[in-house]
Amino acid sequence: MTLTNHAKLRMQQRIITLQDIYNCVKLGASESTTEGKTKYTYNNIYVILSVNKSVITACFTKSYTKQLEKFAK
């Protein structure tokens, strides 16, 4: 599994570890998205993989982001 530069940047910005990415892909629920990409969701994180299995991006789920915003106020 390779990481795009975009994925590396987002991981750094969001403090998402390589272990988080691995767990999300291995243990998470998967769903097909546009252009053959796959989205994996696990423990408040989602990861999008390209057709060739490169990690495109990693982010927190919307529900988790809303929880974080409550604490930031």
Condensed to tens digits (0 to 9), the pLDDT of residues 25-60 reads 999 999 999 899 999 999 999 999 999 999 999 999
pLDDT at 73 over 80: no
For residue 48, the one-letter residue type is: I
What angle is formed at CA 35 by the lines to CA 29 and CA 41, rounded to 5 degrees? 15
Map 2-68 to HEC letters. CECHHHHHHHHHHCCCHHHHHHHHHHCEEEECHHHCEEEEECCEEEEECCCCCEEEEEECHHHHHHH
pTM of the model: 0.88
